[in-house]
Amino acid sequence: MKRIIHIILCLFFVTSVEANEDSLIVFSLLEQAKQTGNSDSSKSYADEAMNYAKKEKYLDGILTVAKHFGNQYAQTGKLEKSIELYRNIINGNSFNRKQLSTAYNQLGIYHVYMGHYDSTEVYFLKALDMRTQLNDSVGMGASLNNLGNVVMSKGDYDKATTYYIKSLRIREQIKDTAGIASSTNNLGMIFYKQQKYSQAIKYYHQALSINQYQNLLDKEILILINLGNIYDEILELDSSMFYYQKATNKAEQFGDLRLISMAYGNLGVTQHQLKNYTAAEKYMRKALKIRIESNDLEGQSILYNNLGAVFVATKKYNEAVNYFNKSLVISKEIGYLETTRDNYLGLSDAYEKLNQFEKAYLAHEQYNLVKDSMLNEATNEQIALLNTQYETEKKEKEIAGQQLEISEQQLQVKQRNYLIGGLGLLVIFIVVIGGFIYRYQTQKQLRLQEENLLKDQIAQVSIQNKLHQERLKISSNLHDNIGSQLAFIISSVDNMQHLFKTTDDKLNSKLTDISNFTRTTITQLRDTIWALNKDEISFEDLKARLFNYIENAKLAQEQTSFSFNVNMSSKFQLNSIQGVSIYRIVQEAINNAMKYAAATNVSLNISETDDVLIISIKDDGIGFNIAEIDLGNGLENMRNRALSINAEFNIHSSINEGTEIIMEINKNSLG
């Protein structure tokens, strides 16, 4: 189930105006507009402020009044009017770059509320470019933060994290407390989406303390909602209800319809968790009504998805399918990958309950495709690296200063020691030159031995570290992707055999072969982990595993002919990193030939020269033009694995002439 998660758009860029007569008149009229309890009177004061600013050609005042009107429209769900207002004032006035960046920034905000992420990114990038030219640190911090919000909504967590950290660094340099709160909150959001809840809670509470201190009620409400989301995810529902109820009360006090709809929507999700389905539907429909009236496409897509989940829980499966499809249309329209992913998963569940297993299978395939496109292993590693770089940057500066002082002290000590030692050596040389030469040679040999021992220890530690990292990568890959997908294949094949009972022995045999092949693959993956725990792997062992893999591939791909040729006379050992890397490269290359190349013949050849071990995987498939395509994750992973064991890696391919992947390893580097 999907929660409505808010990304705080922190736009603390305030136009700087001189305390002149024009600014005082506009400020006074807007204050009266805000304080009056009558909507007609409020509009009258604001209109008077706009008319005065236009008459006096007071451009900063025009922007100030436009923001007042734009926010009023947004809070009442009239976002189209907010956008139209800003387009008109941009076209009708000659703003300078600073003023124009403010207008573009505000336009981007309103497009975010409507789920127009592509338009939003364009306006924020325009604002960032102008603020960079002006060296406006406050504006740059806001624009970078907002860009992070946009790309996170599009599912690009790596790029979002980069924007947030850049924003946070700028805001810390200028001591922008409110901006620090926003960027910190958004980093918490990244960790929340990665299910690293303890880190997310830490960042959220830091941001909450700043916003409460500054009495920023709207931003406090948003963080309370996000904290409720986390506690719901970890099934601490009492804490979740506490934060949601607190957010709901403050949202109704603040009077912002968007915040009220968010609070209601999330309360509905928690009621669903508690199996109070009637209450869950009531809260969700209240939130949906506000989202529809304000033309908030992102909110609508989330709420339709949540209602679909409620109907699955209450066994109204046809209604569930209807609501999931409504949500899917909107989420695809606005490019909202997270909700698109959840819709396919919900449809798979609903179709399965309706015994429409083919539709359930197809929906689950789409779910896996969207999920894999959003966050892969490399992205997780990059996000963790960026966060680590930020956390350690300050410490590194302190350590660098301390190291400089230590180095200076060491230099002085060395100089003093050299002087004393030189005098001592001179005396010894004069007195007993023979004894000095003997002792000098002995000490030199000892130093060489110690240096060689240290180098060996460093090399061993480096190898152990690389091995540990590889184990972690493979374990994560097995757990998050391959294992679950293979298990799903087994389940699907077994279900097909059960549902489509047939007397066709050939079909039954084929389904059984696929199921057995998948189970064998799981076993081979476990064997790979076992191999990593060994200090050495013999080439004969690796050859046997490759042969076994090809034999199993033959069972699953009868239309493809496989050959395995080994022309070797040498015997040698591999370390576990080399063994696993070679196995993975061969496995990936053969998989590519089977899945994408439409090959009828695939050959694996292993040979040697005096100095080099050569491994070649060749197919007669459709091929491709290397100069005209970007390498995908599979080919890039093979290249990276080859580089990690100091092997040369080359790809030869032409359209309709097949593909050959060649890896060459210097024999001296093996073992």
> Does 25 have pLDDT greater than 60?
yes
Q: Tell me how far apart the alpha carbons of residues 493 and 9 are, in angstroms, rounded to a whole number.
A: 47
Handedness of CA 482, 488, 493, 494 (dihedral sign): positive
pLDDT of amino acid 9: 38
Q: Do 542 and 572 belong together in one domain?
A: yes
State mean pLDDT over 524-545: 71
> Does 493 have pLDDT greater than 60?
yes
Q: Do 524 and 560 belong together in one domain?
A: no
Q: Do 601 and 664 belong together in one domain?
A: yes
Q: Do 570 and 656 belong together in one domain?
A: yes
Q: Do 242 and 349 belong together in one domain?
A: no
User: Residue 617's beta-bridge partner residues?
Assistant: 604, 661
- State which of 339, 373, 407 marks the end of a domain: 373
> Does 375 have pLDDT greater than 90?
no
pLDDT of amino acid 383: 52
Confidence band of 12 (pLDDT split at 50, 70, 90): very low
Per the structure block, which two tokens stand in for 660? Answer: 């050959």
The count of other CB atoms within 10 Å of the CB of residue 54 is 16
DSSP string, 612-649: EEEEEEEE-S----GGGS---HHHHHHHHHHHHTT-EE
Distances (CA, A) of 219 to 12, 118, 124, 585: 12, 24, 20, 49
CATH code of 587's domain: 3.30.565.10
Q: Is residue 434 part of a domain?
A: no
Q: Is residue 482 part of a domain?
A: yes
Q: Is residue 583 part of a domain?
A: yes
- Give yes or no for a contact between 218 and 252, defined as CB atoms under 8 angstroms apart: no
Q: Is residue 435 part of a domain?
A: no
Q: Is residue 320 part of a domain?
A: yes
pLDDT of amino acid 191: 81
Q: Do 663 and 540 belong together in one domain?
A: yes
Q: Do 528 and 547 belong together in one domain?
A: no
Q: Tell me how far apart the alpha carbons of residues 456 and 451 are, in angstroms, rounded to a whole number.
A: 9
Q: Tell me how far apart the alpha carbons of residues 288 and 307 are, in angstroms, rounded to a whole number.
A: 10
Q: Do 542 and 500 belong together in one domain?
A: no
State mean pLDDT over 501-521: 72
Q: Tell me how far apart the alpha carbons of residues 207 and 179 are, in angstroms, rounded to a whole number.
A: 10
- Give yes or no for a contact between 77 and 294, defined as CB atoms under 8 angstroms apart: yes
Q: Tell me how far apart the alpha carbons of residues 129 and 564 are, in angstroms, rounded to a whole number.
A: 57
- The three-point CA angle 13-15-19 to 5° equals 140
CATH code of 333's domain: 1.25.40.10
Q: Tell me how far apart the alpha carbons of residues 27 and 337 are, in angstroms, rounded to a whole number.
A: 43
Confidence band of 304 (pLDDT split at 50, 70, 90): very high
Q: Is residue 60 part of a domain?
A: no
Output 72 or 410, whichever has higher pLDDT.
72
pLDDT of amino acid 16: 36
Q: Do 285 and 327 belong together in one domain?
A: no
Q: Phi-psi category of 77—alpha, beta or left, where left has phi over 0 and alpha has psi -120 to 50?
A: left
At residue 537, the 3 state secondary structure works out as: strand
CATH code of 259's domain: 1.25.40
pLDDT of amino acid 14: 33
- State which of 246, 279, 295 marks the end of a domain: 295
Q: Do 517 and 639 belong together in one domain?
A: no
Q: Is residue 86 part of a domain?
A: no
Distances (CA, A) of 393 to 140, 141, 165, 286, 429: 20, 18, 11, 46, 51
Per the structure block, which two tokens stand in for 327? Answer: 């949500």
Question: Per the confidence metrics, is the pTM higher than 0.85?
Answer: no
User: Would you call 231 exposed, middle or buried from its count of C-beta atoms within 10 A (0-12, 13-18, 19+)?
Assistant: buried
Range(s) of the domain holding residue 487: 460-533
Q: Do 243 and 368 belong together in one domain?
A: no
Q: Phi-psi category of 416—alpha, beta or left, where left has phi over 0 and alpha has psi -120 to 50?
A: alpha
pLDDT of amino acid 400: 54
Q: Do 557 and 513 belong together in one domain?
A: no
At residue 659, the 3 state secondary structure works out as: strand
Question: What are the residues whose beta carbons fall under 8 Å from the beta carbon of 227, sequence distance 6 or more?
Answer: 201, 204, 205, 208, 243
Confidence band of 462 (pLDDT split at 50, 70, 90): low
Per the structure block, which two tokens stand in for 35? Answer: 């304080």
Of 202, 192, 129, 114, the residue nearest 160 (C-alpha) = 192
Q: Is residue 172 part of a domain?
A: no
pLDDT of amino acid 627: 77
- State which of 533, 552, 567 marks the end of a domain: 533
pLDDT of amino acid 8: 38
Least confident of 138-142, 337-341, 415-419: 415-419
Domain count, the chain: 4
